[in-house]
C-alpha cells in the first residue's frame, strides 16, 4: 500500500482535490477510485480501504451533482459477443441468438439501453465502451480458449470495469459469471442413455480446462457411468469445438477406432448435428444403431431428422440473471455467481422413452445388436 507524505498532502490540499489525485497516490486508475468510493464489490477490500483513507486525508468530497449527471447520461449496457466459427456468416453461436432476446427484454425492463458488438481482441478491447462512457458495464458471451481469455478478464477487473460473463465460475477466473449446471446436465444426459441399456457411450467435445463448460459436461458424463458401475474408456472421448463440421469430423475419427459404439453424448447441439450427419453417411441409423444426445436445445434441435434429444439451458433466466448481476455491480450492490438448472428434453434421437430402467443381464454383452436387458423399476 502507498502512504501519503506530509509534504505531498500539503501540496495537494492547496487546491480542491480530485479523484485523479487519489488515483495517483493510491497507484490505481481513476475509474477504480470511483468504484472504490462506492464500495463496489469489483474492487479489492484493501484498495477500497486505501482509497477512502486518502480521500479523508485530502478532504475529498464527491460531487453528487456531477455524479448524478453522469448517471443520467449512461443507463446503457454493452453486450459483447465472441466471434465463433459458424457455418454461416453470422459468426455467432446459435445458442446465443435466443439469449439476445432475453437480455434485450431484461435491459428494457430495468430501464437500460443495450449496445451490441463483437469482442475486439486487441490490447484496448474495451476502449469503445466502458472507458469512453458509452456503457456502464459489459455482458460477455463466449470466450474461445478460456486460458487465453484470462488476461482480458484481468484487464477489465484491474481497471474497475463492471462486467459479467456467461460461463462457469471457477477459482482461476476473474469477475462474476452466470452459467448453467453443466455437471448436472452432463450427468442427466448420460444417465438417460444408460437407462436405455447403452454402455459404450462416446463423449464428443474438448474436455480440458481450456473449454471448462465442455469439461464440466464431460465430468457429469464420467460421474453417471461411475455410479452405474461402467468402466471409463478414454478411447470413447473425442475432442471437438462447438460447430457442425467439428462434430462431423470428430465422429468420423471416432468410428475409425471404435466399432462397438452404442451412443454419443455431444457437448453441444451443433456437434450432435454434425455427428448425426457422419453416422448417416457411414450407414448407421439414429437411434436404432447409435443413439445421440446433444446439449443446449437450440431451435433447430427440434427439426433435425430425427429430432434431437438434448439438455436445455434456460435462456430466459440466463438473460435476466446476466442483466441483474451487472446492474447490481454498477450500483454498488453485492452480487454473486449464479448457476441455472438444466433440463433433459427427450426426443427421437434416443428412441422411445422407456417406462422402466434398463439393466444388462450380462455386463460383458456390450456389442451393438447384442444388448440384452431386462426392465426393472425406475
Domain presence at residue 189: yes
- The set of cell numbers assigned to 43 is 474492487
Residue 282: the pLDDT is 95
Residue 122: the pLDDT is 53
Identify whether residues 247 and 307 lie together within a single domain.
yes
Tell me: the pLDDT tens digits for 147-169? 888 888 888 887 788 999 999 88
Identify whether residues 175 and 274 lie together within a single domain.
no
What does residue 139 show for φ and ψ, rounded to 5 degrees? -110, 125
Which residue has better confidence, 70 or 232?
232
Tell me: the pLDDT tens digits for 231-244? 999 999 999 998 99
Mean pLDDT score of the chain? 82
Tell me: the pLDDT tens digits for 31-69? 788 778 877 766 788 998 999 999 889 888 765 444 444
Residue 74's pLDDT band, with cuts at 50, 70 and 90, is low
Region 122-145 average pLDDT:
69
Residue 14: the pLDDT is 52
Residue 33: the pLDDT is 84
Identify whether residues 308 and 320 lie together within a single domain.
no
Pick from 69, 95, 117: which residue ends a domain? 69
Identify whether residues 359 and 211 lie together within a single domain.
yes
Domain presence at residue 300: yes
The CATH number linked to 40 is: 1.10.260.40
Identify whether residues 217 and 354 lie together within a single domain.
yes
Quick one: which H or E segment has residue 139?
Answer: strand 137-141
Residue 120 contacts residue 78 (beta carbons within 8 Å)? no
Say whether 168 sits in a helix, a strand or coil: coil
Identify whether residues 235 and 175 lie together within a single domain.
no
Quick one: which H or E segment has residue 202?
Answer: strand 201-204
Residue 85's pLDDT band, with cuts at 50, 70 and 90, is low
Identify whether residues 200 and 243 lie together within a single domain.
yes
Which residue has better confidence, 139 or 85?
139
Tell me: the pLDDT tens digits for 170-221? 776 778 999 999 999 999 999 999 999 999 999 999 999 899 999 999 999 9
Identify whether residues 235 and 334 lie together within a single domain.
no
Identify whether residues 203 and 145 lie together within a single domain.
no
Region 309-314 average pLDDT:
96
Residue 298's pLDDT band, with cuts at 50, 70 and 90, is very high
Q: Degrees (nearest 5) of the Cα angle 361, 365, 366?
A: 120
Residue 300: the pLDDT is 93
Identify whether residues 265 and 354 lie together within a single domain.
yes
Structural domain for 111, as ranges: 74-180+316-341
Write down the pTM of the prediction.
0.73
Residue 73's pLDDT band, with cuts at 50, 70 and 90, is very low
Task: Determine the Cα–Cα distance for residues 187 and 352; give it in Å rounded to an integer.
Answer: 20
Domain presence at residue 64: yes
Pick from 19, 36, 69: which residue ends a domain? 69
Q: Give the alpha-carbon dihedral of 20, 23, 24, 28, to 10 degrees.
A: -140
Q: Report the 3 state secondary structure along 242-309.
A: CCHHHHHHHHHHHHHHCCCCCEEEECCHHHHHHHHHHHHHCCCCCCCCCEEEEEECCHHHHHCCCCCE
Task: Determine the Cα–Cα distance for residues 227 and 96; give it in Å rounded to an integer.
Answer: 33
Residue 201: the pLDDT is 97
The CATH number linked to 253 is: 3.40.50.2300
Percent of the chain with pLDDT over 90: 51
Q: Is the pLDDT of residue 378 over 50?
A: no
Could you tell me which of 235, 298, 233 has the C-alpha nearest to residue 272?
A: 298
Tell me: the pLDDT tens digits for 86-123? 666 666 788 888 899 999 999 999 888 999 888 765 55
Q: Is the pLDDT of residue 223 over 90?
A: yes
Domain presence at residue 1: no
Residue 149: the pLDDT is 81
Residue 145's pLDDT band, with cuts at 50, 70 and 90, is confident
Percent of the chain with pLDDT over 70: 78
Domain presence at residue 20: yes
Identify whether residues 124 and 254 lie together within a single domain.
no
Domain presence at residue 333: yes
Q: How many domains does the chain have?
A: 3
Domain presence at residue 241: yes
Pick from 41, 69, 97: which residue ends a domain? 69
Domain presence at residue 336: yes
Tell me: the pLDDT tens digits for 19-30? 888 988 999 887
Tell me: the pLDDT tens digits for 331-359? 888 899 999 999 999 999 986 434 333 33
Identify whether residues 254 and 168 lie together within a single domain.
no
Amino acid at each position: 500500500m502507498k502512504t501519503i507524505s506530509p509534504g505531498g498532502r500539503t501540496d495537494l490540499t492547496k487546491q480542491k482535490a480530485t479523484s485523479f489525485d487519489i488515483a495517483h497516490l493510491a497507484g490505481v486508475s481513476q475509474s477504480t477510485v470511483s468504484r472504490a468510493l462506492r464500495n463496489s464489490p469489483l474492487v479489492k477490500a484493501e484498495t477500497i480501504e486505501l482509497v477512502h483513507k486518502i480521500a479523508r486525508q485530502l478532504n475529498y468530497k464527491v460531487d453528487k451533482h456531477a455524479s448524478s449527471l453522469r448517471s443520467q447520461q449512461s443507463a446503457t449496457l454493452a453486450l459483447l459477443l465472441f466471434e465463433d466459427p459458424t457455418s454461416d456468416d453470422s459468426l455467432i453461436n446459435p445458442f446465443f441468438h435466443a439469449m439476445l432476446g432475453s437480455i434485450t427484454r431484461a435491459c428494457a425492463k430495468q430501464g437500460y439501453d443495450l449496445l451490441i458488438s463483437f469482442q475486439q481482441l486487441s490490447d484496448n478491447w474495451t476502449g469503445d465502451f466502458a472507458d469512453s462512457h458509452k456503457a456502464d458495464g459489459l455482458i460477455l458471451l463466449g470466450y474461445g480458449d478460456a486460458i487465453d481469455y484470462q488476461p482480458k478478464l484481468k484487464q477489465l477487473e484491474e481497471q474497475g470495469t463492471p462486467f459479467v460473463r456467461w460461463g462457469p465460475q471457477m477459482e482461476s477466473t476473474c469477475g462474476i459469471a452466470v452459467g448453467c449446471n453443466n455437471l448436472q446436465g452432463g450427468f442427466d444426459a448420460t444417465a438417460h442413455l444408460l437407462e436405455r441399456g447403452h454402455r459404450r457411450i462416446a463423449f464428443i467435445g474438448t474436455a480440458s480446462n481450456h473449454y471448462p463448460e465442455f469439461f464440466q459436461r464431460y465430468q457429469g458424463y464420467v460421474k453417471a457411468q461411475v455410479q452405474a458401475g461402467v468402466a471409463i474408456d478414454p478411447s470413447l472421448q473425442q475432442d471437438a469445438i462447438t460447430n457442425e463440421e467439428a462434430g462431423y469430423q470428430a465422429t468420423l475419427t471416432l468410428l475409425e477406432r471404435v466399432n462397438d459404439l452404442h451412443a454419443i453424448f455431444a457437448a453441444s447441439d451443433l456437434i450432435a448435428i454434425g455427428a448425426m450427419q457422419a453416422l448417416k453417411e457411414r450407414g448407421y441409423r439414429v437411434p436404432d444403431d447409435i443413439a445421440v444426445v446433444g446439449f443446449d436445445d437450440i431451435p433447430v434441435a427440434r427439426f433435425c431428422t430425427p429430432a434431437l434429444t438434448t439438455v436445455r439451458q434456460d435462456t430466459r433466466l440466463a438473460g435476466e440473471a446476466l442483466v441483474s448481476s451487472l446492474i447490481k455491480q454498477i450500483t454498488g450492490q453485492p452480487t454473486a455467481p449464479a448457476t441455472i438448472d438444466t433440463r433433459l428434453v427427450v426426443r427421437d434421437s434416443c428412441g422411445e422413452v422407456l417406462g422402466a430402467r434398463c439393466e444388462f443381464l450380462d455386463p460383458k454383452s456390450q456389442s451393438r445388436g447384442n444388448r440384452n436387458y431386462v426392465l426393472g423399476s425406475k
